[in-house]
Amino acid sequence: MGLLKYIASLTLVASVAIGNAQTHVFDVKTNKLGTEIPQTMYGIFFEDINYGADGGLYGELIKNRSFEFPQNLMGWMSFGDVKLQDDGPFERCPHYVRLSVCKEASKWTGLQNEGYFGIGYLKGADYRFSVWARVPNGGTAQFKAQLIDPSTMSERQQYLGEATITVNSKEWKKYECTIKCADLVEKGSFRILLDHSSSPVDLEHISLFPKDTYKGDDNGLRKDLAEALEQLHPGVFRFPGGCVVEGAELESRYQWKNSVGPVENRPLNENRWLHSFDNRLFPDYFQSYGLGFYEYFRLSEEIGAEPLPVLSVGLACQYQSKNHQPVDQLQPYIDDALDLIEFANGDPAQNKWAKVRADMGHPAPFNLKYIAIGNEQWGPEFPVRLKPFVEQIRAKYPNIQIIGSAGPDSEGEKYDYLWPEMRKLKVDLVDEHFYRNEAWFRQAGNRYDNYSRKGPKVFAGEYACHIDGKKWNQFQAALFEAAFMTNLERNADIVRMATYAPLFAHVEGWQWRPDAIWFNNTQKFNTCSYYVQQLYATNKGTHVLPLTMKGKPVAGNADQDGLFASAVYDKNQQMVIVKVVNTSDKEQSFLLQQQGKPLDLGKVEVTTLMADHPEAENSLDNPTRIVPVSAVKSYKMGDDLAIPANTFMVLKFHRK
Ligand code: AHR
């Protein structure tokens, strides 16, 4: 057994404070590989909340492109002779507009779209404009498609780029062109301007995307936001919600079948977050379904995460509604689940939903392994509905893992009722949610140490620290999440996946905070919580290593001075990785006492995440105020280690 005592010349804080401090001894059994850590361990959960999809991750810049919002011209300013029609070429999106030249020769006809809190344009970037059009009475129509800077202060011309489109067919056809943008504009708009000599023209599905989408995909994603997801190295990708799966009423639940096939024919759905809070009301919040299940599966594949779709169990959001599908009429809902498995994995020659996938460009299966039924459900109405799903999925697809739910609470009546029910139904994993304050996180360091190892495993599907009274992304919240995650890591035999929530928020359109990534129309920033997730995912290792202090897990207990710690071994890199979180206001010293092959002390990779104030946070103006800082350190036997107050530290030791 070797005693390794390392001193932190770790810098950032003067090490004087440790003079009288007690050194904490962490015993790490590096010769005793524990549970294999699943690839799915740290993942992401995406929901269309906070304008996360339309107006966020989804690349479309036009709001209400198919004129299907209940107020059909919402998002559009029309001028001149513009008439709404409802017998368009797409059955489930029948509305379109007819533009005709005004009788008064000097007047203009056209339309202007406001985008989502404006349209963000990047200087020098190309934009792909497309529209379905026809000349209903024959002749030739001409109009301009213009990228507009509506700022009245600007001295330049209003348009930053334009293209002229000529339409001369009486049949509906798709017209497409590229428009280059001359400047950066945060809150632009988009204009269609009919030529004075034009024949009347019908326009439908007016669309504008940046050409440079994530991976260059058609109907693609905003690149900077999708790249931020990729950089989280998620092992699992839960979608599409959350409460949007349930709907405020059953009618507005997320229906995946409406979200696949040609985008022009995907019907609009109300977003459940439209009217959730009257102090943050967004009457224009709808789901175009442009970012649909095909795109979610494609993204899973592109970022290397296991797809984990969530489907309605036949219960609308129980906080808001008693709208439940009767148990004896659940079959269409169950069919949605069975058909989804075919959509993802089936043979296009044998199954119509698999054929939809192939026709959309992905003949190979997506290799779906997990399906969640229900989100935050509770009470007897949940298990009674989940049961027939489980029976039918098991009968047809015995290899698919089914995820149930422990309800909306981390403990209490609903949770106590549901766990035994989930055991009875023999689901594979139980989805637990906990949005809790710092006091809860402080005492939750042992949450999973004594969980029953029999029956379903745990999926910590939604969690975040909400600091009392200040629900934002201050550093302190992230620190408690990092502390809590040592508990997930140590218990990887029972906790098989975990996803922080929510993922995205538009700075002008949020309903819920904190969130992992914030953005406006042209920029984004990662929060401290994002970096905590990233540090865990990129240092998840392959096996748990036992790490204790005086024989107990280091979990922030009364005699542990606010310290939390866990360790893993990475067999591919042959590295021991130790995570330590100091949630106290004092620097703490520790030493590692290890049993196992010697480690290379000359080249230790040390990464710290710390802030100058617990309430400090990143922002659009200062996106990198708090980021992980890495350095390679050299230690000698007998050195001590110190971790500054309120700090998350990851230490990576190579084997000698
Ligand atoms: O993540 C925000 C919401 O929190 C989710 O939609 C829901 O599952 C939970 O209540």
- The catalytic position among 246, 306, 342, 376 is 376
Closest Cα to atom 4 of ligand 1: 242
Q: Is the C-beta atom of 47 inside 6 A of ligand 1? A: yes
Cα–Cα distance for residue pair 503/517, rounded to 1 Å: 6
- Residue 483 gets which letter from DSSP? H
pLDDT at 156: 76
- How far is the centre of ligand 1, averaged over its atoms, from the C-alpha of 604 (Å)? 40
- Cβ-in-10-Å burial (0-12, 13-18, 19+) of 412 comes to exposed
**Residue whose CA is at the smallest distance from ligand 1 atom 5:** 242
Q: Which atom of ligand 1 is the closest one to the Cα of 45? A: 1
Average pLDDT in the 455-460 region?
Answer: 98
Say how many Å lie between the CA of residue 46 and the centre of ligand 1. Answer: 10
Contacts of 350 (CB under 8 A, 6+ apart): none
pLDDT class for 3, splitting at 50, 70, 90?
very low
Which residue type does 526 have? N
Q: Averaged over 424-440, what is the pLDDT?
A: 98
pLDDT digits (tens, 9 = 90+) for 7-59: 332 222 222 223 335 789 999 999 889 999 999 999 999 999 999 999 999 99
Closest CA to 213 of 384, 386, 59, 320: 59
Q: Which atom of ligand 1 is nearest to the CA of 241?
A: 6
Q: How far is the CA of 273 from the centre of ligand 1 (A)?
A: 10
The percent of residues above 90 in pLDDT, for the chain, comes to: 90
Q: 58: which 2 tokens?
A: 């989804």
Take residue 12 and report the two structure tokens written for it. 């950032």
Answer yes or no: is pLDDT of 579 > 80: yes
Separation between Cα atoms, residue 185 and residue 309, nearest integer Å: 36
Q: Dihedral sign, CA of 527, 528, 529, 532?
A: positive
CB 174 within 8 A of CB 130: yes
Backbone angles phi, psi at 393, to 5 degrees: -70, -45
Structure token digits, residue 554: 């280091």
CB neighbour class for 1 (10 Å; exposed up to 12, middle 13-18, buried from 19): exposed
- Mean per-residue pLDDT, 370-374: 99
Q: Which atom of ligand 1 is nearest to the CA of 462?
A: 1
What pLDDT is recorded for position 11? 24
- What is the reported pTM? 0.96
Average of per-residue pLDDT across 210-214: 98
Burial 592-607 (b: 16+ CB within 10 A, else e): bbbebeebebeebbbb
CA distances for 498 relative to 45, 378, 391, 515, angstroms: 9, 21, 26, 15
Ligand 1 centre distance from Cα of residue 295 (Å):
21
Q: Out of 433, 436, 471, give the residue to mutate to test ligand 1, the one with the largest number of ligand atoms within 8 Å of its CB.
A: 433
Sign of CA dihedral 250, 254, 259, 265: positive
**CA-proximal residue: ligand 1, atom 7 (nearest):** 242
**pLDDT the model gives residue 152:** 67
User: Is residue 395 packed enough to be buried (19+ CB in 10 Å), middle (13-18) or exposed (0-12)?
Assistant: exposed
Q: Decide which of 637 and 347 is more confident.
A: 347
Given a contact cutoff of 8 angstroms between Cβ atoms, the answer to whether 530 and 617 are in contact is: no
Q: Is the CB of 241 within 6 Å of ligand 1?
A: yes
Show the tokens assigned to 508.
Answer: 């002008």
Average pLDDT over residues 518-533: 98
* Closest atom, ligand 1, to C-alpha of 376: 8
Burial 86-109 (b: 16+ CB within 10 A, else e): eebbbeebbbbbebbbeeeeeeeb
51 CA → ligand 1 middle, Å:
14
Mean pLDDT of 71-83: 98
**Tokens (6 digits) for 195:** 């030529």
Task: Note the pLDDT tens digit of each residue in 608-656.
Answer: 999 999 999 999 999 999 999 999 999 887 677 899 999 999 999 998 8
Tokens of 123: 């200087």
Nearest to 271 by CA among 3, 55, 416: 55
Q: Concatenated DSSP letters for 161-173?
A: EEEEEEE--SS-E
Asked whether 243 lines ligand 1 (CB < 6 A), one says yes
Centroid of ligand 1 to alpha carbon of 275 (angstroms): 15
The answer to whether the CB of 375 is under 6 A from ligand 1 is: yes
pLDDT at 637: 76
Give yes or no: 251 in active site.
no
Q: What is the pLDDT of residue 471?
A: 75
Q: How far away, in angstroms, is 156 Cα from ligand 1 center?
A: 45
Closest CA to ligand 1's atom 8: 242
Q: Is 376 near ligand 1, meaning CB less than 6 Å away? A: yes
Statement: residue 94 has pLDDT above 90: yes
Q: What angle do CA 508, 512, 514 make, to 5 degrees?
A: 95
Among candidate residues 599, 510, 554, 89, the one with its CA nearest the CA of residue 273: 510
Task: Tell me: pLDDT of 2 over 60.
Answer: no
Sign for the CA dihedral angle at 307, 310, 311, 313 comes to positive
**What is the rounded CA–CA span in Å between residue 118 and residue 121?**
10
Token look-up 């010293």 returns 589
502 CB under 6 A from ligand 1? yes
Task: Give 1's pLDDT tier (boundaries 50, 70, 90).
Answer: very low
Query: Which one of 312, 435, 515, 529 would you pick to mutate in the ligand 1 pocket, going by the greatest count of ligand atoms within 8 A of its CB?
Result: 435
Q: Sorting pLDDT into bands at 50, 70 and 90, what band is 111?
A: very high
For the CA of 512, the nearest atom of ligand 1: 2
CA atoms of 345 and 305, how far apart (whole Å):
16
* Nearest CA among 442, 650, 562, 640 for reference residue 8: 640
298 sits in which H/E element: helix 293-303
